[in-house]
Structure 1
Amino acid sequence: MLRTNYFFTLFFFCYCFTFQAQEKESLIDVIPALEARFEVKFSYSVNEVKGIVVNKPNKTETLNQIIEDLNANTLLNFKFLNERYITISQLDKTISICGRLVSSTDNAPLFGASVVINNSTKGTVTNEEGGFQLDNVALNETIVISFLGYETQAFAAKELWEGNGCKTIVLSEKNEALNEVLISKFLTTGLQKLIDGSTVLNTEKFGILPGLTDPDILQSIQALPGIESVNESIANINVRGGTNDQNLILWDGIKMYHAGHFFGLISAYNPNLTTKVIVTKNGTSSEFSDGVSSTISMLTKDKIGNEVSGGIGANLLSGDAFFEIPLSKKWAIHVSGRRSFTDFYKSPVYDKYFERSFQDSKLTTDGDNISESNRSSKFFFHDYTAKLLFDLNEKHKFRANVIGINNSLDYKESYIDNANKKESKTSRLKQQNIGAGVNWNGIWTSDFNTELSAFYSKYNVDAVDYRIETDQKLTQTNEVLETSVKLKTNYKINNNLNLLNGYQFDEIGILNGTTVSAPSYERTKKDVLLNHAFFTEAEFKNNATYFRLGVRVNYFQKFNKTIIEPRLNFRQKLNNQVAVKLQGEFKNQSATQIVDFQDDFLGVENRRWILANEQNKPNSESNQPYAQNIPISISKQASFGFDFHHNNLVLDVQGFYKLVKGITASNQGFYNSFQYKNASGSYTAKGVEFLINKTANRFSTWLSYTYSINDYEFKTFTPSVFPNNVDIRHSVSMAFNYDILENLKISIGGIWRSGKPYTKPVEGNETMQSGNTTVVNYGTPNGDNLDDFMRLDASFSYNFKMSQALKASLRAGVLNIMDRKNSINRYFKVDSNDSNSAILIDNKSLGLTPNLSFRIKF
């Protein structure tokens, strides 16, 4: 018993001693006590010692011991002038800082947050535990910490000094953003999952994906389940079985009608001034209409910086530059530009892209009377953006945007005329989209703000085609003009509930024209449509429940027609790891694309935008598809699933059902017996999307799988139900990213999917007479499938500093490492040498395609 008491007493004594030794006290209170105790005087600035906490001096310590301890454990210099006077000053040195970021809502660590020294390029990102460390930081620096969806915070460097221990920093969500980040590192750095199910591509922090040398916006989103391109073109992105024209693409709120360069192989949107891209497949906010398959919203940088920044870069196809120029504390301008050099230098990458883009076009399939040496082509593309930023004050901000996208192709043919003279004709194709927008955001109270915006968008494709064999000049044009004005209000009822209301007016006009020189012929058709829309929605969120319910009411003035579109987005956490989600939406679309095989543009571009007319004409077999009845497309979609995430492992399963009515046969580009028929119908897509994703500090890996069934229904056709042109039953993508060093990363991955459907001719009876014309006698529509599509890609990136102010990156990527000859489309045409036979035409995917890029930022 005595021994027990002895140990207890000893333990208690040690505990009290330790507690006393670790007791802390403010330095500004310690100094007067030391002055009184040792009869000395300290000379110091109150601002330099304010807020500094030190170990409380022990009564047994001498003055010299106390001063040594203060010098060792503070960022101050204590110096004896003599035995009575001591000066205190700040050290002129660099320090190491550290900290840990957590969310104010659930105290969860924030992975991938940006920690930078203000007005410099030096910084880091938080690890999977929310921690960060930065060395060699000057004492007078300011550290800025930011994370998507959260309030930005700034700290003096000495507040985060490693010697005081790593501070836990709590970031609060932005008041205007209820839609918080659910998964901060999704697939790769810079891809994030929001709580409403949409995906954010954060281009500033974007990591690396297989095969890509630059963060191509529309290529990158194809890593997501349910999003792919059956012909590997970003001009033909298929979201849950939809066609490309069913995707609403917005650039800072400006609706865009054109997506790609090189006729679909390169995204036309410069990522360098883009802060984030939000992709929504279902459960869309009632603020948006159009795009019955998806909404892809691109947002550019929106802050006025303190100094000029920017960058330049180039790959084997093009060069680009961007600049952020502050004109004052209230004004700034952001500009970017890109231009290809393919018209004067043809790299191996150009050759691969040219072969892929222009196969089966006039550029490669002209008659034998024109030799290869007597024809040439010149192709180039460019794009540009400009944004003017004006902050009247912290509550009223004005923005103005301009964007331009251009593809240009010249095709020259030389021949010997009847007088034995050499003549030449140049055919031209020009495709462009120009947009302009303005925006005013006003914060009237802490709970109420408004936004007024407007945009103008113009798309046109023009072609002049000289047909030497008939001495004929064919001129074609397709033009879209759209203007829109939108007013929306946000009212924060409380910390959990937000109310959105708004009105939008749209005017859209579409023109299609064709002119033939011999025989003289001209046809022009123009349609205009006005649309008024009112929308409202309530958004609720707490720690376990997210709920967004809205409705959009559309009124089409020309047709005196009202379409009501309810929207639903619901997510419920069952525990800290598992949540269920339910989404649904009705949407409409009045502008769609038709595929015109007869009046194509040099055989390169055969899609034309056309406007709904609601004429209710009977279906016909007219060869003028834009003269038929074009209904407004209506979609209904529902999805249900669950997600699991724990220790940076994400498992996401979702089933979906989508019905789209009001499509036309000319929308689809049939290569079968329905190719020139006009009819209205629908398609139904249903399936399951599965994703498993594991991330860590140095690697990320994922596997996604989509199973879907996609069928047409055209009641006037026989058969009336048959597989959709983009009926891809099985689709798998996988990748592995690894950081070999902090600045050296590699990525390898692949795609496998079942082949798209196609239609064979009737065996033994491959052609038939249709009037005076011999045509292919097609069998069961989409009754066969191409071979499976398979591609393996890889890339690496290396980042380094050229100086304190200049950062550089070198990236290399290879598409289709195994050089697999994938068929992406197949059709048949009558053999010109034997009218009883049909020739198989196979369009192939990109072969082995390496690329290299180099970029400098300052």
Structure 2
Amino acid sequence: MKLNKWLVYILFCIGSITYGQNTTKKIPLTDLIVSIEKQFNIKFSYAVEDVAAIKIVKPNTAFTLQETIDYLNSKTLLNFKALDSRYVTVSVLNKTISICGVVFDEKKSLLVGASILVKDIGRSTITDETGKFKLQNIPINAILTISYLGFESKQFEANELFSAQNNCKEILLPAKNEELNQVLINVFLTPGLQKYLDGSTVLNTKKFGILPGLIEPDILQSIQALPGVESSNESIANINVRGGTNDQNLILWDNIKMYHSGHFFGLISAYNPNLTEKVVVSKNGTSAEYSDGVSSTINMYTKDVISNKFSGGGGINLISADAFLEIPIARNLALHISGRRSITELFKSPTYTSYFERSFQDSEINADSDKNDTSSDFYFYDYTAKLLFDLNEKHQFRANIIGINNALDYSERLTANSNTSQSKTSNLSQKNIGYGGNWKAQWNPKLSSHFITYFSRYNIDAIDYRIETDQRLTEANEVLETGVKLNTYYKTNENLNFLVGYQFNETGMLNQTVVSNPSYSSTIKEVLRNHAVFSEAEFNKKNTYLRVGVRLNYFQKFAKFLVEPRINFRQKLSNEFALKLEGEFKNQSTTQIVDFEDDFLGVEKRRWVLVDNKDIPIAMSKQGSLGVEFNKNKLTIDLTGFIKKVNGITASNQGFYNNFQYKNAHGSYTAKGIEFLANKTAAKYSTWISYTFSVNNYEFETFNPSTFPNNADIRHSVSFGLNYDINKNLKASIGGIWRNGQPYTKPVDGDETVTNGNTTMVNYDSPNGSNLNNFMRLDASFSYNFNFTNAIKATLRAGIINITNEDNIINRYYKLDSNNTDNAIKVDNKSLGLTPNVSFRVNF
């Protein structure tokens, strides 16, 4: 009996739930009108087109006629009015309405700057800092498209976004399925640094927190906190990734290949970080669409979204001043511009003095000249501009320009006696300018394409007039490169993407040297054309990420094919542990040679040259790495073993200071080691320590010995840091670097020089048989944010490099003693001493 009662009760509840669900179902208004007419024996007078598309929840059948009319008026944009007990008229209340919405992603994070476009009437807006938008006087049946870069667009009728209670509709935009490479770690070392599933490191400059010694989100400085990334001479123009040389890093700015990376000859990044939105750094397992850069790939992307809001900012530090603007021209057209210039002509700050001494310590600018009066004028600048045009939701066009310039004028006056004197002026100019354009097309939900074209020009020119010999030396190095790339993407489902593409590059290089007294001239021009086709598949589902690809390269001049497979695999083994495997074959057809005798005033010692497949072969790398990751409670531990072999290097591009300095040969280097990183983050702090152990050796078959340590063979390297949020607006960071000193070559004890005919040279011992003292540096920074108004925000930052003023030697070589050719003089290049810097920025 009790069982039957419970059964009846359960059935009653189910029936009630079913009935409740049915009452919330929307039905066509035309059907509801017919039902009401029968219920109350009345007639509605209306135009069919006014009600045909409207659906509504059926009102309570217990309502009176007036209650029913009131209900209809509250739930529609129509005016229901009873003329008498028999007739009810229906008319359109408003031809236009006000609408509002709040836009989220799938994780319920607000999407700030999402675009809202009203079709056919040319009205548009974007979401504000709360993810909200509002539009007034919008036609009832207007179609709105809501879109955000990297997310699927959605369309709505205006009446769907109207609410009689003035509540904004919540709108969720799902991520585009082709973006399978998801963020693995949101805060990596500091806010704004992220780690992706494929192992690449990403810097988001808008969210950048703070790192020791830095006052800007400079990616070329920031990545040196990562294991496996060093700068053996403390310069961003000489970043060594897993033992490679700087010219083995592929640098792209909005898909334009760049051949120059630094101001102040390597101490400051040449890329303004305030308009650069995202930077992706890959050490291994690179996508098949990229070639060159046998050591790493550094991709810089500027903001790519059109906003109807005028914004910008500016800043100044003890070296330079900069500004940027984002200018809306029309609803689908915008211009982004930026510029930066040194302020060293205005005053010589302690920062400038430290940088100047570091940059020119081993050049003619700082040469011993007791009898000479010297002066130098050095400045740099860079600029960017980007035009953004959205033809419609499916077609986007972008055009870019970037310019980088360093200039040095050096004057010297030689006094022969009290009555006569001579003067000379030498000049050095280093420039890189790039132009680019691209077209993104979404042909259908599954098929899209990206067409890229660019032109890059690099020049370094020097004129050096030598009073003592009445000799003028003119040097020039020029690179001209044109590139075209077409990527086609196809997604089969939400887990699997395919990429197929083609790339063409034409690279021309000129090297020129002209000498007067005695007269000598040399001009070498070379051109190389490369074609490539590539394809890859990317899969990401639950615990598995896999990207496999292959690239087929064809060198037209040599009629040579190279096949390059790529793999990037990550398997999550549990909630805490994951296994990762990366591998790639890559090639490089451009390189830099180092000429110590003919060296652009001693400031810049490198020239770009093209491979000839004989004396300078194509550099080819093979690299593999295997690692394990642990991630729990915001503690990340990463342990990776790697091996990399690069064939096709030459003695001339390694910058040897030993018996092989003037020899022509090509060989290889092999770097292998282990990288370790531990990073713990919390609400108020982030702390980390990284360690790299590696062994890096050259092999040149024609040399004796044939195997010896690489110039960048740094066996042990440690970096550490702590970021702490003192309060909401004040942040501090402290950290340091410790590593073994790099190798160098000593002269033979007791027999320091050797004479061959009329030539006397340093008689070197075993190549790279000694090491400099260990390098150690402690840095600190702090950052304070405050607002002038709700729209104008400011940041004050200060940083100190080498707080303890360590006397670090970063390079050592020997030269002949001009007073005694039996002796060799030791020359030490030193790192930056204590170097402070302060910046102040305002954004609006």
CA distance in 2, matches of 1:138, 1:538: 38
CA distance in 2, matches of 1:138, 1:565: 48
8 Å Cα contact 1:102-1:169 kept in structure 2: no
CA distance in 1, matches of 2:524, 2:341: 34
The equivalent position to 1:806 in structure 2, one of 792, 804, 808, is: 792
User: For the structure 1 residues 251 and 415, does the alpha-carbon distance in structure 2 shift closer, same or farther, using more than 3 Å as the test?
Assistant: same
AA of the residue aligned to 2:275: L
Q: CA deviation at 1:123?
A: 4.3
The aligned counterpart of 1:699 is 685
Counterparts of 1:15-30 in structure 2 under 5 Å? none
Q: CA deviation at 1:299?
A: 0.7
User: For the structure 1 residues 41 and 146, does the alpha-carbon distance in structure 2 shift closer, same or farther, using more than 3 Å as the test?
Assistant: closer
Q: CA deviation at 1:116?
A: 7.6
SS of the residue corresponding to residue 671 of structure 1 reads coil
Q: Does 1:538 align with 2:524?
A: no
The equivalent position to 2:351 in structure 1, one of 345, 349, 352, is: 349
Name the TM-score, length of structure 2 as normaliser.
Answer: 0.84
The aligned counterpart of 1:492 is 491
Task: Provide Cα deviations, 1:117-142, integer angstroms capped at 9, x if missing partner.
Answer: 99899848xxxxxxxxx9xx99999x
The aligned counterpart of 1:82 is none
CA distance in 1, matches of 2:75, 2:664: 80
Task: Provide Cα deviations, 1:215-245, integer angstroms capped at 9, x if missing partner.
Answer: 1121112122111201110000100000000
The aligned counterpart of 1:481 is 480
Counterparts of 1:494-509 in structure 2 under 5 Å? 494-509=493-508
Q: CA deviation at 1:497?
A: 1.4
User: For the structure 1 residues 690 and 417, does the alpha-carbon distance in structure 2 shift closer, same or farther, using more than 3 Å as the test?
Assistant: same
User: For the structure 1 residues 335 and 500, does the alpha-carbon distance in structure 2 shift closer, same or farther, using more than 3 Å as the test?
Assistant: same
CA distance in 2, matches of 1:789, 1:153: 56
SS of the residue corresponding to residue 705 of structure 2 reads coil
User: For the structure 1 residues 417 and 279, does the alpha-carbon distance in structure 2 shift closer, same or farther, using more than 3 Å as the test?
Assistant: same
8 Å Cα contact 1:505-1:532 kept in structure 2: yes
8 Å Cα contact 1:115-1:145 kept in structure 2: no
The aligned counterpart of 1:842 is 828
AA of the residue aligned to 1:276: K
AA of the residue aligned to 2:216: D
The aligned counterpart of 1:240 is 242
User: For the structure 1 residues 649 and 543, does the alpha-carbon distance in structure 2 shift closer, same or farther, using more than 3 Å as the test?
Assistant: same
The aligned counterpart of 1:303 is 305
CA distance in 2, matches of 1:121, 1:355: 49
The aligned counterpart of 2:752 is 766
SS of the residue corresponding to residue 469 of structure 1 reads coil
Q: CA deviation at 1:765?
A: 1.3
SS of the residue corresponding to residue 176 of structure 2 reads coil
The aligned counterpart of 1:188 is 190
CA distance in 2, matches of 1:792, 1:663: 34
Counterparts of 1:297-376 in structure 2 under 5 Å? 297-370=299-372, 374-376=373-375
The aligned counterpart of 1:690 is 676
Q: CA deviation at 1:422?
A: 3.5
CA distance in 2, matches of 1:381, 1:837: 40
Name the TM-score, length of structure 1 as normaliser.
Answer: 0.82
User: For the structure 1 residues 153 and 209, does the alpha-carbon distance in structure 2 shift closer, same or farther, using more than 3 Å as the test?
Assistant: farther
Q: CA deviation at 1:770?
A: 2.7
Instruction: Answer with 213-222 or 279-288: which moved more.
Output: 213-222
CA distance in 1, matches of 2:155, 2:749: 74
The aligned counterpart of 1:833 is 819
User: For the structure 1 residues 742 and 38, does the alpha-carbon distance in structure 2 shift closer, same or farther, using more than 3 Å as the test?
Assistant: farther
User: For the structure 1 residues 760 and 33, does the alpha-carbon distance in structure 2 shift closer, same or farther, using more than 3 Å as the test?
Assistant: farther
The equivalent position to 1:287 in structure 2, one of 286, 289, 294, is: 289
Q: Does 1:415 align with 2:414?
A: yes
Q: CA deviation at 1:423?
A: 3.3
CA distance in 2, matches of 1:34, 1:359: 94
CA distance in 1, matches of 2:147, 2:209: 18
The equivalent position to 2:806 in structure 1, one of 807, 820, 835, is: 820
CA distance in 1, matches of 2:600, 2:821: 27
8 Å Cα contact 2:112-2:127 kept in structure 1: no
The aligned counterpart of 1:640 is 626
CA distance in 1, matches of 2:289, 2:493: 21
Counterparts of 1:75-224 in structure 2 under 5 Å? 103=107, 123=129, 172-224=174-226
Unaligned runs of 5+ in 1: 1-18, 51-96, 104-108, 125-133, 160-164, 616-628
CA distance in 1, matches of 2:174, 2:431: 43
CA distance in 1, matches of 2:698, 2:658: 14
Identity of aligned residues (%): 63
CA distance in 2, matches of 1:461, 1:809: 36
CA distance in 1, matches of 2:643, 2:280: 22
Counterparts of 1:744-759 in structure 2 under 5 Å? 744-759=730-745
The equivalent position to 1:795 in structure 2, one of 756, 781, 784, is: 781
Q: CA deviation at 1:764?
A: 1.4
Instruction: Answer with 216-225 or 780-789: which moved more.
Output: 216-225
CA distance in 2, matches of 1:769, 1:499: 63
CA distance in 1, matches of 2:111, 2:460: 42
SS of the residue corresponding to residue 352 of structure 2 reads helix
- Measured on the aligned residues, the alpha-carbon RMSD in Å equals 3.5
The aligned counterpart of 2:12 is none
Counterparts of 1:556-575 in structure 2 under 5 Å? 556-575=555-574
CA distance in 2, matches of 1:722, 1:47: 83
The aligned counterpart of 1:83 is none
8 Å Cα contact 1:726-1:757 kept in structure 2: yes
Q: Does 1:785 align with 2:771?
A: yes
Q: CA deviation at 1:745?
A: 1.0
Give 4+ residue runs of structure 1 displaced > 4 Å after superposition.
Answer: 28-45, 47-50, 97-103, 113-124, 137-141, 144-156, 167-171
SS of the residue corresponding to residue 220 of structure 1 reads helix
User: For the structure 1 residues 138 and 399, does the alpha-carbon distance in structure 2 shift closer, same or farther, using more than 3 Å as the test?
Assistant: closer
User: For the structure 1 residues 600 and 432, does the alpha-carbon distance in structure 2 shift closer, same or farther, using more than 3 Å as the test?
Assistant: same
Counterparts of 1:29-40 in structure 2 under 5 Å? none
Q: CA deviation at 1:468?
A: 1.1
8 Å Cα contact 2:753-2:762 kept in structure 1: yes
SS of the residue corresponding to residue 455 of structure 1 reads strand
The aligned counterpart of 1:655 is 641
CA distance in 1, matches of 2:724, 2:106: 25
8 Å Cα contact 2:102-2:133 kept in structure 1: no
Task: Provide Cα deviations, 1:357-385, integer angstroms capped at 9, x if missing partner.
Answer: 10011011144332xxx110000000000
Unaligned runs of 5+ in 2: 1-16, 25-55, 79-100, 116-124, 137-144, 162-166
AA of the residue aligned to 1:751: I
CA distance in 2, matches of 1:31, 1:210: 65
Q: CA deviation at 1:154?
A: 12
CA distance in 2, matches of 1:208, 1:384: 24
AA of the residue aligned to 2:266: G
8 Å Cα contact 2:105-2:175 kept in structure 1: no
AA of the residue aligned to 2:506: E
User: For the structure 1 residues 540 and 138, does the alpha-carbon distance in structure 2 shift closer, same or farther, using more than 3 Å as the test?
Assistant: closer
The aligned counterpart of 1:587 is 586
The aligned counterpart of 1:378 is 377
Q: May I ask how many residue pairs the two structures share in their alignment? A: 758
8 Å Cα contact 2:232-2:742 kept in structure 1: yes
AA of the residue aligned to 1:843: N
CA distance in 1, matches of 2:133, 2:666: 69
SS of the residue corresponding to residue 330 of structure 2 reads coil
The aligned counterpart of 1:855 is 841
CA distance in 2, matches of 1:397, 1:720: 54
Q: CA deviation at 1:488?
A: 1.4
The aligned counterpart of 1:623 is none
8 Å Cα contact 2:127-2:133 kept in structure 1: no
CA distance in 2, matches of 1:720, 1:397: 54
The aligned counterpart of 2:81 is none
SS of the residue corresponding to residue 178 of structure 2 reads coil
User: For the structure 1 residues 549 and 517, does the alpha-carbon distance in structure 2 shift closer, same or farther, using more than 3 Å as the test?
Assistant: same
The equivalent position to 2:711 in structure 1, one of 725, 739, 742, is: 725
Counterparts of 1:521-536 in structure 2 under 5 Å? 521-536=520-535
CA distance in 1, matches of 2:185, 2:77: 41
AA of the residue aligned to 1:529: L
Instruction: Answer with 645-654 or 707-716: which moved more.
Output: 645-654
AA of the residue aligned to 1:282: N
User: For the structure 1 residues 37 and 314, does the alpha-carbon distance in structure 2 shift closer, same or farther, using more than 3 Å as the test?
Assistant: same
Q: Does 1:388 align with 2:387?
A: yes
Q: CA deviation at 1:176?
A: 2.6
